[in-house]
Amino acid sequence: MNAAYDFLVGPFASYAFMQRALLGSVLLSLSSCPVGVFLMLRRMSLTGDAMAHAILPGAAVGFLLYGLEIVPMTIGGLIAGMIVALGAGAVSRLTVQREDASMAAFYLISLALGVLLVSMRGSSVDLMHVLFGTVLALTDDALWLIASVCLVTAVTVTVFWRALVAECLDPLFLRSVSRLGTPTHFIFLALVVLNLVGGFQALGTLLAVGLMMLPAAAARFWTTHIGPMVAVAILIGVASSVAGLLLSYHAELPSGPAIILSAGVIYAASILAAPRGAFRGRVRVHRHRTA
């Protein structure tokens, strides 16, 4: 019993930095996992990855001007993310290029520009901090930012829940019966950018999208209803955060990648064991055919 307590609870009970990392990760799970579910249902999963790269130049400009200060890097990331989202949308509407292709072009340019800007002044350690985060070194300002993003996301998703669900299922129908179609789309993109900016403080620009998308993708194998899917995604995100932090502590591994790899393990297990996964899904289909 004592061994189990020391392994599972001891690190969080003994060290303030583990408590702060856990709080930040749980808040990120509460905030970003619902956004990931809607991204997945809209078939925009790779858009989250593109937007995660898109915030890098803005964060890099904030870093160049003020160093590793949270407010300038956050504001820069928000501005850069919004510019890329609006720019990719404008290109897809004004030209023959589809939005996924224009988004890919914008994010590749953004990633290269961001790495170049950070490299101009910072060291390789600074670059690793921006790209992969420092969840074990979250400051009060970072926690307040993540908590604010969580609150804004919760309120927005609650208020626009029906519109978000309707746009996932049939966006053309929503636009035909309501004026909320286009505003809902841009409000949702703003939520994506906001959560990625909050997530990069802990997990960096390259891994923030992992906590957004992997729990959502895993939850899809457990239920077909959107409400329960959001709840399952949040639970998987929290479980991944706890498991990743414990793995990081006991095995002396980088904390951010450990969290994302934990989510990846749960995703793989969901593929095999969930009711809508590969194994049980095939068993159910086989029984239906033989009945």
Cα–Cα–Cα angle for 238, 240, 245, rounded to 5 degrees: 100
Among 21-25, 53-57, 167-171, which is the least confidently predicted range? 167-171
Output the pLDDT for position 173: 66
* pLDDT level of residue 142 (50, 70, 90 thresholds): confident
Q: Which among 168, 180, 201, 183 is positioned nearest to 78, based on CA atoms?
A: 201
Asked whether residue 165 carries a pLDDT value surpassing 80, the answer given is yes
Q: What is the model's pTM?
A: 0.84
Q: According to CATH, what is the number of the domain 17-290?
A: 1.10.3470.10
The pLDDT value given to residue 197: 83
148 by Cβ neighbours in 10 Å (0-12 / 13-18 / 19+) ranks as middle
247-284: per-residue pLDDT in tens?
999 988 888 889 999 999 999 999 988 888 776 655 55
How far is residue 204 from each of residues 129, 180, 200, 213, 260, measured CA to CA in Å? 7, 33, 4, 15, 12
Q: What is the mean pLDDT of the chain?
A: 82
Between residues 182 and 80, the one the model is more confident about: 80
User: Do 59 and 204 meet the contact criterion of CB atoms below 8 Å apart?
Assistant: no
Report residue 133's pLDDT band, with 50, 70 and 90 as the boundaries. confident
Task: For residue 95, give every residue at least 6 positions away whose Cβ sits within 8 Å of its Cβ, in sequence order, or none.
Answer: 102
**99-109: pLDDT as tens digits:** 667 777 877 78
The predicted model gives 166-173 an average pLDDT of 73
pLDDT tens string 213-239: 999 999 999 998 999 999 999 999 999
Rg of the chain in Å (alpha carbons):
20
